[in-house]
Amino acid sequence: MTAAVIRDRDLARLNRCLELLAEPTSVEALRRQAVDAIPVVVPSAFTVWNEFDPATGEMATPVISATTMGIAGGSKQLEKAMYDARSIFAAHVDEQPIMMHYVRTRDGRPRAISDFYTEEQFRGTELYRQFYGPLGVDDQIAFQLPSPALVVAITLHRGWRDFPSRDRLLLNLLRPQLIQALRNARAYERLCRLLAATEQRVERTGEGLLLLDRGGRVEYASANARAILGRWFGEWRRPRLPSRLEDWARGQIALDRPTAPPWPLILDRHGRQLAIRRLPAPDDDAVALLITERDIDAGRTAILSRLGLTPRQSEVLDLAARGATNAEVAVALRISVSTVEAHMTQALAKLGVQSRAAAANLLHQALTERSPEADR
């Protein structure tokens, strides 16, 4: 049956339609692209993207294909006419058999008005006399896309009766692709809203945000991130990271080994410090990095010195207090593990404690409870 109904040129048109539907990144763009692409596969006088709230009877402004057949004023005039008549549609929606069938069964496969009404029955409804008749519509085929609260229906209208099995089969092949395209567009819009909110919050602090894919390529860089990295690494061309940062990204946040513990990159230069930390991300295919630049706290060095530690011992203990293993401290400071162990042993002895946890607690108190002399 399928081979007898669908020809090679039908499949070519279907593939072209799917290519067009893969392009939009927002729901609004998808609405417009869908109504323009579907007539490539199944011709109609005009094709409409409808959104209707069955609980309130409210209808959103319909989106109509740019090319209309025999409609004075074209799609914009038709969109206005349909929107202006939305109260008529809502008042007689119980006479719309496709809508009522979907509300009752939630079966969104293509159905035509001619599946439910004869021509005489359809022309006898108030919905036809007040809504479809003035638009020159004698038949309509529609299919629905799943949506939490709204009925999202794509409707194809003709001034003649009947939609053959070829049309129905092609629309049945197209519908799952549109369902996925709508899900993708909604997910993309949610991601954009989340990213905008996150960037706004981060940028207010003077920090920057980077999003990488699992290959370490930059998918997004906020304005602050670009400015900070430019100051530290000079010009760099996306999607590649600056080479120094790329080496750290691959080795320390383990883009190809998600079980490896993330560890910040800390760089000091001319009294400034750059810190790059990996943030938790709900998407395993994305890596979020927080970029922070600040002046080095001279008071911090003075406090650690008063504990009797050398600068290197202070660095080792500070990193260990943040949860780093000896191996991670060694990588961060570019020294051997045995050197880290030696500095740690000496630091514990100077502080008069027996464990890293006790040393970390002492260090925390020293850094958070500054003496009056340290603050002057």
Q: Are 221 and 208 in contact (CB under 8 A)?
A: yes
Nearest of 209, 190, 206 to residue 198 by alpha carbon? 209
Q: Which residue has the tokens 């939609």?
A: 163
Q: Are 159 and 138 in contact (CB under 8 A)?
A: yes
The 10s digit of each residue's pLDDT in 284-324 is: 566 788 888 877 665 555 666 677 788 788 888 878 877 78
The strands making up 151-158's β-sheet, listed across from edge to edge, are 63-64, 46-52, 151-158, 139-145, 111-112
Which pLDDT belongs to residue 108?
Answer: 94
| Sequence-ordered alpha helix ranges (H) in 110-164 | 119-123, 126-127, 133-135
pTM: 0.59
Which pLDDT belongs to residue 245?
Answer: 82
Tell me the C-alpha distance between 90 and 95, whole Å: 10
**For residue 207, how many other CB atoms are within 10 A of its CB?**
19
Tokens of 112: 């035509």
Nearest of 112, 37, 35 to residue 75 by alpha carbon? 35
What phi and psi values does residue 148 have, to the nearest 5 degrees? -55, -50
Which pLDDT belongs to residue 156?
Answer: 95
**Burial class of residue 367 (count of CB atoms within 10 Å of its CB; 0-12, 13-18, 19+):** middle
Tell me the C-alpha distance between 178 and 209, whole Å: 33
Domains of the chain: 2-189 (3.30.450.80), 206-296 (3.30.450.20), 297-376 (3.40.50.2300)
Tell me the C-alpha distance between 277 and 254, whole Å: 13
Tell me what the mean pLDDT of segment 153-178 comes to: 92
Tell me what the mean pLDDT of segment 64-70 comes to: 71
The 10s digit of each residue's pLDDT in 334-344 is: 889 999 999 99
Q: What share of the chain in percent tops pLDDT 70?
A: 84
| Sequence-ordered alpha helix ranges (H) in the chain | 2-5, 8-21, 27-41, 74-84, 86-91, 97-105, 119-123, 126-127, 133-135, 165-204, 223-233, 243-252, 298-306, 311-321, 326-333, 337-351, 356-368, 372-375
